[in-house]
Amino acid sequence: MHKYVLLTAIALSGCRGVDVEIYKLLVTLTEPPISCYAEGFERNTVSSGPPESVQVQVWDGPEGEAYLEFESGNFQVVLGESPSVTTAGIFTGKAGEGGWKFEKDTSTAQTQGEGANAITQTVKTHVELTFPRGGGSLSGTAALNSSYACTGASCPDDVNRSCAINSISFKGSRIAVEFEREP
């Protein structure tokens, strides 16, 4: 849904169509570092394993930006005791060192209770993918981080958590370029 809104906006800006690049990526997930766990908690083992295949599409937008959306292989990564990070949604990217950097940030805050007993729980996540665009094979990197914070007198002690994994590598290739005409 979001993709079609963006494609329509690009088309209305004077373009007659958009080239959509399709990439197939093999992502090797890594175990969250021990710092992502409180003392005494067991580590998750679901975050590492064989490479996972994902397919993404990338299209150019106005002002030197590009957009990325996972077509298949959307996944959710458990980051220790911090909130999980998902790859769903549209990422915004710009050309930079090491290729194109696509990022997506989310932030949600929920307040519960009233007055002196009110607490606010805030969850923030950040996903970043960097890779060169174009034909042939490619290598890229991904970084994930998330945090949970509770503010207010009724929050339990030591519940604020954050976790980052900056060393996720992936390989892939551009498998197609499709032209989508103005709607």
Residue with tokens 């696509």: 102
pTM of the model: 0.82
pLDDT tens digits, residue range 5-46? 444 444 444 455 689 999 999 988 778 888 888 776 666 544
Predicted local confidence at residue 139, as pLDDT? 95
Provide the domain limits for residue 63.
2-181
Q: What gap in Å lies between CA 139 and CA 137, rounded to an integer? A: 7
CATH number at 174 reads 2.40.160
Q: How many structural domains compose the chain?
A: 1
Contacts of 143 (CB under 8 A, 6+ apart): 126, 127, 128, 164, 165, 166, 168
